[in-house]
Amino acid sequence: MWFNPGGSEMSEEEWASPFVRCLGMLLSGDTMDVLNFEGEPIRDDTFLLLINAHYEPIPFVLPGQEHIEWQLILDTMEADGFLREPRKFASGDDIDLGGRAACLLQLVSGAQAQAREESWKKRHVEFPALSAEEERARGKQR
């Protein structure tokens, strides 16, 4: 699943927008179609990758129903990247995603199916109608 910074699933309009530079990708470990030698499904952990290609920080609402807990394990704004002391966040919390940065979170509490839902605290996100070229041209005029 793909999420916008407001904690909602990405819409067709957002995918077509020239300004969308921040998104989240949920990698769900319980929906794999991979089977082991005995024919049993292989299960893994669920991860959430947040990417911000914009130069400014963007707050990102974590997806999932209430009572889901995520653990931040990688933040490219940190010197070492991987955190020595992972930080925990609840679904619906804001993560300040730095400019041109990425964060990786791991689901540590709650059902994986509930983590695949839009945030219970989702909010509307508006993107400017400017293309990247228009924004650069506008910035040069200032």
Question: Mind listing the pLDDT tens digit for each residue in 6-54?
Answer: 999 999 988 888 778 899 999 988 866 778 899 888 888 999 999 999 9
What CATH number is attached to the domain comprising 67?
2.60.40.1180
User: Alpha-carbon distance 124 to 132, whole Å?
Assistant: 22
Q: What's the pLDDT tens digit per position in 41-88?
A: 888 899 999 999 999 999 999 999 999 999 999 999 998 889 989 999
Q: Could you give the number of structural domains in the chain?
A: 1
- CA distance to 3, 102, 110, per residue, from 120 (Å): 13, 23, 14
Q: Is the pTM of this model over 0.85?
A: no
Q: What's the pLDDT tens digit per position in 126-140?
A: 766 666 676 667 667
The two three-digit tokens of residue 122, written as one number: 């989702």
Instruction: Kindly state the helix (H) or strand (E) to which residue 14 belongs, with its residue range.
Output: helix 12-16
Q: Which domain holds residue 41?
A: 2-141
